Structure 1
Amino acid sequence: MQKIKVTDDIEFAYQDSGAPLNKADYPTIVFIHGHTYHSGAFAKMLASAAAGGYRLILPNRRLYPGSTPYTADEIKAMDASNAPEDIATAFSKQGEYLLLFIDKIIQQLGLESVSVGGWSLGTSFMNSLVGAIEAVDAETKARVTEHVKGLIWWDPPATGHGFDDPPTGGWIPLYDESIAPEQRAQAFVSWVTQYYPHPDLEKKDCYKLIYKLDDPIKRPTFTDVPFEEILKMVDFSAGPTADNHVADFYFQPAHRILREKAFFNSKIREAWHSSTFSVVYGEQTTYNIIWGVWKLQEESEKTGLPIAFKAMPGVNHFGMYDEPQLVLSTIQSCA
């Protein structure tokens, strides 16, 4: 694990696959992890990146191992007592720090062609990062927009972008009051790691989505993986500290503000002039991600601001573990 300072007080720990051997000109992918599962969950992608001609850089977000924690004031600024506009402003600052990380990495490693993306809850941080391009100094803005060729949202959950539940009401075990509170976390893990064979996705019918499975159609990700290996991928303290705030329903109005700014603000789009905007997703991921993708497609069509959408057949929410090569190639195709 390496570290880089972005301000006098804040540093990010990160993993780096290194430059591919015997290749001077290569693409670099920087990816921001989600809730609980940090950069360690991408180990298989990290191991295969250089052999595939890519460089993969995986920062740990603040709260996660090696990176500077949030201050008490930062956590308070994002709690439910604040107005949505104020929460959005506070959360945008975290995107600004990630943008500074991108800039420092570009300078320190001499990177030329970079794709920047986020997975799961990391897609919410992507909204903050993309919108923060107007908040950084002119030199940082110029370097980042010169070298970043692609911006990628991988498996964006609807709630993490401020979208309401589908008319069906949806179902997420964390909020199911029929499940004992002490059992909800394990129920969520069981739910999110499964494969969902949603039928007729091209029809975009939320009534045909599969919301839960009593009998898995395929072994869920991490089945039979030793717990000591799981511990290399997760940090259970980050959620209660602040990530649960970001994933909570009260945060949705702030997410809506940040989504509209990142994707559909013409000034922000112009600032990222050389970058493509892409959404990639597994076709067998959870319903709330499929629903989020459909809503983004709908908004892109209404506004006329383009987003490329790329589906990964047979992939669930943890493609980085079960299908690392397919995910890498799909992400790289977005640049």
Structure 2
Amino acid sequence: MPTAPVDEKGTVLFYEDAGPPAGSSDYVTVVLIHGTCFHGAVYRPLVPFAARHNLRLVMLNLRGYPGSTDFSQEDFDQLRGPSPEQQEMAIAARGIEIAAFLRWFIETNGIPPIKDSPGGTRSGGLSVLAWSGGNCHALAMFAHIDKLPVETRNLLSAYLRSFITFDPPGSAIGYAVPPSLTAAIPQWDLSATVDEIAAIFAVGVSSYYPPFTIPDTIDPPPVYDPSPVPLHKGEDADPIYTPTSLKMPPEVLRSLMHPSIMGDHLRLMWKLNPDVLKTNLHRALLDCRFDDGSGSVKKTWPDLRVHLVLCDMTYVSCGWGASAIWLEHQKANPEHRRNLELHKLEGVNHFVHWEEPEKFTRFLASIV
């Protein structure tokens, strides 16, 4: 079971590595960070198509997921902490672990660094993709660059090509969906078992919803009337809109999910101070100036490209989260924010990488 050490306390993160494309010395490495409850195995359908696009896929499992170190009582206490500072430390720690993994993987595997060639072509290097709820922890790495060891910061500056924020939910960035969208969010009794909650969650996040349009403003939030309803509901529902999780054989679905995460950890995450998560987003994408240790405040990793990917038939919280990032980015100071490009994938749901892996791998290769 491959694991990487990410601190001096024995913490490890599990990963699956598709390996370098045969014969290639200029491939791009893409580290794939999973979402809530679904772990890195959800990316396995992409693997058969990676080599033809000169990609090396690395599927990472975050803390608390199979193969990775579980959360300690100290971790829970930080998340539970009454002060925003304690909660911020808890989120920052997860981002620092991701950065430590990237450094370890680069140094251990000798992946090719970024190389710019005449004509504007770029090869090598490493991109990070975070899907769904995984965006909270991935953003924390960029939000807390100043807390990374100098050696890690310098190494990553030579390798990091891009960050892809893929269908980020509002809950991961501190933006609650407006009241008129809450009817589309699956509800469950908090006294239910984690398996029951996970089953409801899986159907909700993998459903198809009416195409989401980014509003002109999120403040004040728009009114959605009627509230979106999953397209598989109703007597005349088209079977092509069956939720992805319901198309999977039960044993396959079980192999992708980690229901126990829906217990203490997620319940604490859902209670985090929203301002902590908004600050996480702000420091990561909207104002990326940091003290480099010399007392000078300037952009760190200024050449990093950010891609915001929205699936138009996604879970409504993700449509709202992508809207919040896009609109807040438009308001941010162009000299301080990161370069960000929006991509809207039409006719697909939150699980496009599972439903259409060849198409998604081709798209991924075009933006990394």
TM-score (norm 1): 0.91
Which of these residues, 288, 297, 304, is aligned with residue 326 of structure 2? 297
- Indicate the residue corresponding to 2:209 in structure 1: 196
- Indicate the residue corresponding to 2:242 in structure 1: 219
Alignment partner of 1:165 is 2:198: no
- Indicate the residue corresponding to 2:33 in structure 1: 32
Structure label with greater radius of gyration: 2
Cα displacement string for residues 68-107 of structure 1 (whole angstroms, at most 9, x for unaligned residues): 112110111102x422232012210111011100111111
Question: 1:95, 1:127 within 8 Å by CA — same for their partners in 2?
Answer: yes
CA distance in 2, matches of 1:6, 1:72: 19
Which of these residues, 292, 295, 313, is aligned with residue 284 of structure 1? 313
Alignment partner of 1:318 is 2:351: yes
CA distance in 1, matches of 2:24, 2:63: 32
1:1-335 map, 5 Å:
1-8=1-8, 9-79=10-80, 81-111=81-111, 112=113, 113-166=125-178, 168-171=180-183, 173-175=185-187, 181=192, 185-198=198-211, 207=224, 211-213=228-230, 214-215=233-234, 216-217=237-238, 218-246=241-269, 248-268=270-290, 270-303=299-332, 304=334, 305=337, 306-335=339-368
TM-score (norm 2): 0.83
Query: Could you say what the CA RMSD is over the residues aligned between the two structures, in angstroms?
Result: 2.4
Q: What SS does the corresponding residue of 2:161 show, helix, strand or coil?
A: strand
| Letter paired with 1:168 | S
Q: What SS does the corresponding residue of 2:256 show, helix, strand or coil?
A: coil
CA distance in 1, matches of 2:26, 2:99: 23
CA distance in 2, matches of 1:250, 1:26: 39
Q: Which moved more, 1:201-210 or 1:222-231?
A: 201-210
CA distance in 1, matches of 2:223, 2:320: 7
CA distance in 1, matches of 2:272, 2:154: 35
| Letter paired with 2:340 | I
Note the C-alpha offset of 1:187.
3.2
CA distance in 1, matches of 2:273, 2:47: 32
Number of residues paired by the alignment?
A: 332
CA distance in 2, matches of 1:233, 1:252: 29
Question: 2:202, 2:245 within 8 Å by CA — same for their partners in 1?
Answer: no
Q: What SS does the corresponding residue of 1:237 show, helix, strand or coil?
A: helix
Q: What SS does the corresponding residue of 1:197 show, helix, strand or coil?
A: coil
From the superposition, tell whether residues 174 and 249 of structure 1 become closer, same or farther in structure 2 (CA, over 3 Å).
farther
CA distance in 2, matches of 1:280, 1:3: 29
| Letter paired with 1:170 | T
Question: 1:38, 1:235 within 8 Å by CA — same for their partners in 2?
Answer: yes
| Letter paired with 2:300 | A
From the superposition, tell whether residues 13 and 176 of structure 1 become closer, same or farther in structure 2 (CA, over 3 Å).
closer
Q: Which moved more, 1:86-95 or 1:217-226?
A: 217-226
CA distance in 2, matches of 1:325, 1:12: 27
| Letter paired with 1:100 | A
Gaps of 5+ in 1: none
CA distance in 1, matches of 2:103, 2:223: 40
Cα displacement string for residues 1-47 of structure 1 (whole angstroms, at most 9, x for unaligned residues): 41111223111110011000122111111011111100111110123
Q: What SS does the corresponding residue of 1:261 show, helix, strand or coil?
A: helix
CA distance in 1, matches of 2:187, 2:319: 19
Note the C-alpha offset of 1:241.
3.8
Note the C-alpha offset of 1:290.
1.1
Question: 2:35, 2:132 within 8 Å by CA — same for their partners in 1?
Answer: yes
CA distance in 2, matches of 1:13, 1:199: 34
Note the C-alpha offset of 1:266.
3.3
Q: What SS does the corresponding residue of 1:163 show, helix, strand or coil?
A: coil
Cα displacement string for residues 226-247 of structure 1 (whole angstroms, at most 9, x for unaligned residues): 222112111111221413322x
Gaps of 5+ in 2: 114-124, 291-297
Q: Which moved more, 1:135-144 or 1:296-305?
A: 296-305
| Letter paired with 2:280 | L
